[in-house]
Amino acid sequence: MWRITMASIGLALAVAVSVPALAHHGWRWTTGNNIELTGVIIEAKLGNPHGLLQVKAEDEVWTVEVGQPWRNERAGLADSDLAPGVEATFIGEPSANVSERVMKAERIRIDGRTFELYPERD
Amino acid sequence: MEGGWTFVAETGIAEWVRVSRWGYAAISGAHILGIALLVGAIVPLNLRLLGLWPSQPLGPLWRVLKPAAIGGLSLAAACGGLLFLAGPETYARAPVFQAKMAVIAVGTLSALWFSARVDLVASPLRVRRAAAIISLSCWLSALALGRLIAFTTD
């Protein structure tokens, strides 16, 4: 029984330690280089802990992470700017695993206006 | 939004959890404080039940760490319930979240059963070890699964 316990504890710790490789918080999971994605928002889920959009760009659908409500608001974005049907260009970093089709937006261009989610990032 | 959670998601408190900046941060922090208290209490208590520190009497440890664990679980559960309101439908359908709720249910029910039926302080090592292994497995899994929610749910 002692060995089973030690194995369970070991497994739990291994899971906890391996998790950062999958992380979607912060920027460690992205490539470090920006891409631009232009498309139409088809689904929006806004709110804590962060907002997620589904964006249809040509024949691909990307998941775009936007800010939490305070960050979107600070950038000057209303919820209606991030609603289905809106066409926008997202500038930010894609997941290092490009086949995931996931990116985190640093700034968003809508109708020629630019909204800075992370003004301090390039 | 489907699955019967619309009503919950449209309440005023759910709206507040969804948009509040510092409110959400405070609830997350208190959730972690609850987990810290719970795990910080049950790990040494269970290791003692498994036979570690045999020279330390179990009675006093039990009297201190059991209420600490109960307090920690209550705080974590209350704050967890609030965090859930930010996206009830998303969380409810996530396999990792469902697994977390299941191990919490098993952990809580087995703790209630053991405290109602067994005097662990006076029981033989075999029974104590069984109780400790169930408890450690449940709560450490709950912790690991809880952490995974942030990295698997979208």
Minimal CA separation from B131 to chain A, in Å: 11
Q: Tell me, what's the pLDDT at A14?
A: 65
Partner-chain contact A48 B17, CB within 8 Å: yes
How far apart are alpha carbons B81 and B133 in whole angstroms? 27
pLDDT tens digits, B45-94: 999 999 999 999 999 999 999 999 999 999 999 999 999 999 999 999 99
Segment B2-18 shows an average pLDDT of 89
Q: Tell me, what's the pLDDT at A53?
A: 96
Q: What is the dihedral of CA A16, A19, A24, A25, to 10 degrees?
A: 40
Q: Tell me, what's the pLDDT at B82?
A: 98
Confidence of residue B2 (pLDDT cuts 50, 70, 90): low
Joined together, the tokens standing for residue B116 give 């109602």
Residues of chain A with pLDDT under 70: 1-9, 11-25
Q: Tell me, what's the pLDDT at A39?
A: 97
Minimal CA separation from B45 to chain A, in Å: 14
Q: Report the complex ipTM.
A: 0.75
Report the residue from A2, A12, A45 with minimal CB separation from B140. Answer: A12
pLDDT tens digits, B105-148: 999 999 999 989 999 888 999 999 999 999 999 999 999 999 99
Number of DSSP helices (H) and strands (E) in chain B, helices first: 7, 0
> Rounded mean pLDDT of chain A?
86
Measured between beta carbons, the chain A residues lying within 8 angstroms of B87 are: 45, 47
At A34 the three-state DSSP class reads coil
Q: Tell me, what's the pLDDT at A41?
A: 98
Measured between beta carbons, the chain A residues lying within 8 angstroms of B24 are: 48-49, 68
Strands (E), A1-122: 35-45, 52-57, 60-65, 87-94, 102-110, 113-116
CATH number of A25-116: 2.40.50.140
Q: Tell me, what's the pLDDT at B3?
A: 65
Measured between beta carbons, the chain B residues lying within 8 angstroms of A46 are: 18
Q: Tell me, what's the pLDDT at B151?
A: 82
Please tell me the pTM assigned to this model.
0.83
Domain ranges of chain A: 25-116
Q: Which of A3, A5, A70 best tests the B interface by mutation, with the highest count of B CBs <10 A?
A: A5
Q: Tell me, what's the pLDDT at A15?
A: 62
Rg of chain A taking only CA atoms, in angstroms: 18
Partner-chain contact B136 A8, CB within 8 Å: yes
